[in-house]
């Protein structure tokens, strides 16, 4: 594999901070709705972080070079990266009773179950934290009811009460 030029790449994180990074393109991976650049770290001479291409704001070539390791396996790297991500990502499992038209707003983690009322379904989902779950339920304007966890029932009721009191 011939050496690749290194480049400086400012990228935006999820809160819109811009950071300049020295990266080299080891490989690119298209995944779902996004494409990623797998970078190489100069000091370790091995692929390490990856960056979502849609977050890159510009690129600048430098005179440094990087040689991708001959034994680099993109599929193996990506599988390991995804396992590590899933193991460390925040998890807040919830169970909701959801109207049929609102099911698409949630990503089920288990089969969707029917209720006695054909317009409602039981949905198991996994969000990052209680605040995200509360916002997701309230955004449905009554088309989603919390079954579990009890803490989320309380958060949604308190927020709904506060909304009702201010209008």
Domain residue ranges in the chain: 4-88, 92-166
Per-residue pLDDT tens for 28-71? 666 565 777 777 654 444 546 777 777 777 777 777 777 777 88
Put simply, whether the predicted model's pTM sits higher than 0.75 gets the answer no
Q: Which of 160, 110, 155 is nearest to 140 (CA)?
A: 160
Domain 92-166 has CATH 1.10.10.60: no
Average pLDDT over residues 95-108: 95
Per-residue pLDDT tens for 15-31? 455 566 556 565 566 65
Please indicate whether residue 87 or residue 50 has the higher confidence score (pLDDT): 87
């Amino acid at each position: 594999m011939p050496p690749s030029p290194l480049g400086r790449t400012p990228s935006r994180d999820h809160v819109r901070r811009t950071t300049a990074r020295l990266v080299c393109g080891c490989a690119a991976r298209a995944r779902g709705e996004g494409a990623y650049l797998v970078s190489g770290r100069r000091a370790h001479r091995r692929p390490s972080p990856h960056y979502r291409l849609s977050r890159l704001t510009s690129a600048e070539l430098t005179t440094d070079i990087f040689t991708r390791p001959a034994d680099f396996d993109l599929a193996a790297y990506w599988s390991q990266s995804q396992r590590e991500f899933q193991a460390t990502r925040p998890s807040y499992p919830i169970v909701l009773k959801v109207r049929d038209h609102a099911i698409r707003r949630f990503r089920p983690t288990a089969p969707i179950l029917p209720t006695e009322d054909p317009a409602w379904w039981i949905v198991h989902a996994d969000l990052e934290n209680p605040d995200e779950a509360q916002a997701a339920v309230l955004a449905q304007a009554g088309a989603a009811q919390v079954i579990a966890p009890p803490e989320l029932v309380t958060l949604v009721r308190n927020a709904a009460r506060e909304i009702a009191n201010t209008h």
